[in-house]
Chain A
Amino acid sequence: MNQLFKKRKEQISIVQQFFNRVVKTEVKVVEASQIVICDGCKQAIAPESIKANQGVCIHCGYHMRMGAYDRLSLLLDEGTFREIDKKRTSFHVNDFSGYKKKLYQYQQAANVNEAVVCGSGQISGMKVAIAVMDSYFMMGSMGSVVGDKITKTIEMATQKKFPLLIVSSSGGARMQEGILSLMQMAKTSAALARLDEAGGLYISILTHPTTGGVSASYAMLGDIILAEPKATIGFAGRRVIEKTINEKLPDHFQTSEFLKEKGFVDQVVTRHQLKDTCAKLLQLHQGVNL
């Protein structure tokens, strides 16, 4: 029966061709803004459905990159965020070629002034100091301003006895600023040491990607380290290591699951559960009996 309908279809197409009645259609070019291709499964998804699913692919559950303000609205109670140093932008000390232009372009495109947004807010009514990195701004790279803003946030947490949350997503130190950006690793780490001495809580949330100088400093210094599923977390890139040690690395090397397995990450938390998990940890820290 199926065959008969198939045969009929073939006949029809022959007749249509014979009578020149083949309908020619052009493939419509869908504007990039109207469709998103998932990096995980390469399927096209409507931006609305991704937004509704908090940036998680509806097909494969891949956690896509997220802007800093989207992340803040995901984590914090509505309307509680107070930003500090909103307008601070990087300066260009050694006048790295094209850096000034690049900064300007990213400021326009990513709608943030720097690769990190810092401030204070509330999670389920509990006050926190929070810094969220934006990987859309120069791959979330850490320059002197980023490091300084994070240090200020850590210091605010130490001073006001707020628990500290840092959401990392970064390619590492900002190459254009040279040694100044590498300095930030020591600076933020020292600030965190003071927080630790003061008995403050620091929850580090690692998202895709957390690599380089960031992972080698504050990202991995959390009292509690959470990570989003399948996020790339590591210091040097996979190929660099493979070339150096002349060995094939496991498939899930440098993923959050791999790091969880090896004890570098305390828990892999999906984006949907992230706020609840943070809230529970904060409650525990406050001595609330869950």
Chain B
Amino acid sequence: MIKKCLIANRGEIAVRIIRSCKDLNIATVAIYSTADKDALHVQLADESVCVGGPQSKDSYLHMHNIIEAAILTGCDAIHPGFGFLSENPMFASLVSQCGLIFIGPSSDVIELMGNKINARKRMIEAGVQVIPGSIGAVKDEVEAVSIANTIGYPVMIKAAAGGGGRGIRMVNSQEELMKVFSPLKQEAKNNFSDDTVYIEKLFTKAKHIEVQILADKHGTVLHLYERDCSFQRRHQKVIEEAPCHLLSSEQREKICAEAIKVAKAVSYDSVGTVEFLMDERFEAYFMEMNTRIQVEHPITEMVTGVDLIRHQIRSAEGCKLTLKQEDIVIKGHAIECRINAEDMRRGFAPTPGTITFIHTPGGKDVRIDSAIYQGYTISPYYDSMIAKLITFGDSRLQAIKRMRGALEEFIIDGVASNVEFHYLTMHHAQFIDGRYTTDFAGKWIQELSEREPII
């Protein structure tokens, strides 16, 4: 049993993990960079260790310092959260080599799923429907063109090791493909030290649907139904909802069964997410699997009532899941807005600074996961997400209405935030209708920037 856990992360997810640890009577150790000594996760954890300088690579990505901190404080586990080292197979294996529990899947699974080409291959073997495209790596332009011609334009060229919206190019024609192929290969080599790229068909009108997976080390794989994360700005999710209200129950069962198939194919044993693209015909294609807890996990927690981090820690300890698939039922609808410190009037540029006043909304079925407080200074070194605002309602419309009310109350002064953007979005007819696809957010932002500012 884990008695003390180091949280190798910062911000709201570190706070979120500390809260679940407190529930489970697990002592917590926070790590922080010199820029983060006032951060909330440092104040809330039982102990805290400074692991390096403000740059992520000197602190939150510095594996040796983090593992050393865990050993010196007598921890028996490390929770990586999301981002940073959460999907780094080397870190996972280092942690287990040092005799600590890595709260997440094994390094092999992380490695397999981290490489998009290998993951695609494995899924094709397992009989999962993947996005049409190359089976493996694409060597050169000639091969790329022939594949693109068979699946049809537009296509996406992706770096195998890429992620988080980086290392992706959208291509509309053969000439364009010839033009971007080599630069992308070079970029991939520079950024991810791996220049393998692959091609996938691009669905312009598609929904991003993902299924939450919960598994243990005893072969139990459960799904916690789907989330709709189609509201994306530059491949970054901004608003998420659970469940996808367009799906019929048969379609929902089908996509969840597909996700279980994916997880079982790699003997998955932790919390993870299988991402699908769903076209207009509600045909779901496997995209990738995230082998970690996700930013948007609270909406699944809201509709299912399951504490995902608690189960993630328990299954990392080797406990058998106490939940059964039939116990997991969706009740109501939840929406999450990521509140970022960014200025919607200046192209969503990050706005670091000091929060001089904050008022967070409250009330029934309103949840805030955040790590900010009045007087806190948002540092420019890290992600600009400062809070997650989650509302729940019996129906989708009620959740939207609650979100509007919550956003009306949400006041952050001192730094610009995208609260107003979310508020405007909550009034957009297409959003309310719910039939928006992944290209909707981009168009909507374009529309907002072109006309006179509303507020």
Chain A residue at minimal CB-CB distance from B409: A8
Q: Are A5 and B411 in contact (CB under 8 A)?
A: yes
Q: Are B455 and A15 in contact (CB under 8 A)?
A: yes
B357 at the interface (CB under 8 A from A): yes
Chain A residues with Cβ below 8 Å from B413 are: 4
Closest to B423 in A: A15
Check A109 for interface membership: any CB of B closer than 8 A. no
Q: What is the minimal beta-carbon distance from A9 to any residue of chain B, in angstroms?
A: 9
Return the CB mask of B246-270 against A: 1 if under 8 Å, else 0.
0000000000000000000000000
Closest residue of A by beta carbon distance from B419 = A8
Q: State the Cβ distance, A229 to closest chain B Cβ, in Å.
A: 49
Residues in A with CB closer than 8 Å to B423 are 12, 15
Residues of A within 8 A of B408 (CB): 8, 12
| CB pair A15 B454 closer than 8 Å | yes
Contact of A21 among B420, B427, B455 (CB under 8 A): B427
A15 close to B411 (CB less than 8 A): no
Report whether A4 and B420 are in contact in the complex, using a CB–CB cutoff of 8 Å: no
Docked Cα-Cα span, A5 to B361, in Å, equals 13
The 7 closest A-B pairs by CB, nearest first: A11-B455, A19-B427, A4-B411, A18-B454, A4-B413, A14-B455, A12-B408
- Beta-carbon contacts of A1-27 to B below 8 Å, as 1s and 0s? 100110010011011001101000000
What are 22 A-to-B residue pairs whose CB atoms are below 8 Å? Answer: A1-B357, A4-B357, A4-B359, A4-B411, A4-B413, A5-B359, A5-B411, A8-B408, A8-B411, A11-B420, A11-B455, A12-B408, A12-B423, A14-B454, A14-B455, A15-B423, A15-B424, A15-B427, A15-B454, A18-B454, A19-B427, A21-B427
Instruction: Give A14 to B427 CA distance when docked, in angstroms.
Output: 13
Secondary structure type dominating chain B contacts: mixed
* In the complex, per-residue mask of B397-433: 1 if CB is within 8 Å of any chain A CB, else 0: 0000000000010010100000010011001000000
Q: Which B residues from 7 to 47 make CB contacts under 8 A with A? A: none
> How far apart sit A19 and B454, CA to CA, in the bound complex (Å)?
10
Interface size for B (C-beta < 8 A) is: 11
Cβ of A4: which chain B residues have Cβ within 8 Å of it?
357, 359, 411, 413
Q: Which residues of A contact B359 (CB under 8 A)?
A: 4-5
Residues of B within 8 A of A14 (CB): 454-455
A contacts with B, residue count (CB < 8 A):
11
Question: Cβ of A19: which chain B residues have Cβ within 8 Å of it?
Answer: 427
Please give, as numbers and ranges, the residues of chain B lying within 8 Å of A5 by CB-CB distance. 359, 411
A residues within 8 Å of B by Cβ?
1, 4-5, 8, 11-12, 14-15, 18-19, 21
Distance (whole angstroms) from the CB of B427 to the closest CB of chain A: 5
CA distance A17 to B188 in the complex (A): 48
A208 to B427, CA, bound (A): 59
Encode B314-335 as 1/0 by CB contact (under 8 A) with A.
0000000000000000000000
Residue interface bits B437-455, CB-to-A below 8 A is 1, else 0: 0000000000000000011
CB distance from B33 to the nearest CB of A (A): 31
Considering the chains assembled together, what is the distance between the CA atoms of A18 and B359 in angstroms? 25
Q: What are the residues of chain B within 8 A of A21 when measuring CB–CB?
A: 427
Please, which residues of chain B bring their CB within 8 A of the CB of A1? 357
Chain B residue with Cβ nearest A10: B455
Give CA–CA (A13, B411) in the complex, Å. 16
Tell me which residues across on chain B come within 8 A of A11, comparing CB atoms.
420, 455
CB distance from B266 to the nearest CB of A (A): 46
Q: Which residues on A sit within 8 Å (CB–CB) of B420?
A: 11
C-alpha gap A21/B423 in the complex (Å):
13
A1–chain B nearest beta-carbon distance, Å:
6
Across the interface, name the chain A residue whose C-beta is closest to B453.
A14
Given contacts A5-B411, A15-B455, 19 further A-B contacts (CB under 8 A): A1-B357, A4-B359, A4-B411, A4-B413, A5-B359, A8-B408, A8-B411, A11-B420, A11-B455, A12-B408, A12-B423, A14-B454, A14-B455, A15-B423, A15-B424, A15-B427, A18-B454, A19-B427, A21-B427
Inter-chain CA distance A83–B423, complex, in Å, is 72
Cβ–Cβ < 8 Å partners of B455 in chain A: 11, 14-15
B411 contact set on A, CB distance < 8 A: 4-5, 8
CB distance from A211 to the nearest CB of B (A): 59
Residue on A nearest B410 in the bound complex, by CB? A8
| Bound CA–CA A8/B411 (angstroms) | 8
What is the bound-complex CA distance between A14 and B408, given in angstroms? Answer: 12
CA distance A37 to B411 in the complex (A): 42
Chain B residues positioned under 8 Å from A18 (CB to CB): 454
Q: Which of A5, A11, A14, A15 has the most CB of B within 10 A?
A: A15
